[in-house]
Amino acid sequence: MEILKPANMSQTAPAPEIAANVLPSGIRIHESPESVASHAKKVLLLEDDPAFKEIMTDFLKETGFEVVAVVNGVEGVHQVLASDFEVILCDMMMPTLPGDMFFRAVERMRPHLCDRFVFMTGHRGNAKVNDFIKSVNGTILTKPFHVDDLLEMIAFINVRTMLLAA
């Protein structure tokens, strides 16, 4: 992965065959098709709505991600114990084990994954959700969201993970 200067700093335009993500700061992140093919980012998707889960899974796979999709936090715990993930997309309101409790379980079992969460919710005004997100300094996407916002959040999580590892 290569991080380039903001677009307004006389940067040459990327070649058309290179996919680009632009962070809010203007930093462009480019991945060549070869680097995407050699290491697809592994995403854990926790979403209890079957239609939304299918749409998200299809989109992420078409975008080059390896996706493991589950319908609740209990299944998510099993996946986290079995594998590592670059990004965890976690619905807040799920049956059996909701997003906040899933996060707390991951925090105890695999704490290095906590910075890789993007929480998703359609309950913008829910005080419990808002208090939890604030308490863990979480990254949140409010449903419905645009796919560009999703990709930007994933790029942000990847950059943050690289910076924390440095």
Q: State which residues form the domain around 99.
A: 40-165
Q: Is the pLDDT of residue 19 over 90?
A: no
**Do 129 and 152 form a contact (C-beta atoms < 8 A)?**
no
Our measurement of the distance from residue 49's CA atom to the centroid of its chain's CA atoms, rounded to an integer in Å, reads 18
97 & 159 share domain:
yes
11 & 74 share domain:
no
Our measurement of the distance from residue 52's CA atom to the centroid of its chain's CA atoms, rounded to an integer in Å, reads 15
* Per-residue model confidence as pLDDT tens digits over 67-102: 999 999 999 999 999 999 999 999 999 988 999 999
- What mean pLDDT do residues 127-149 have? 94
142 & 113 share domain:
yes
pLDDT at 166: 81
- DSSP letter at 116 equals G
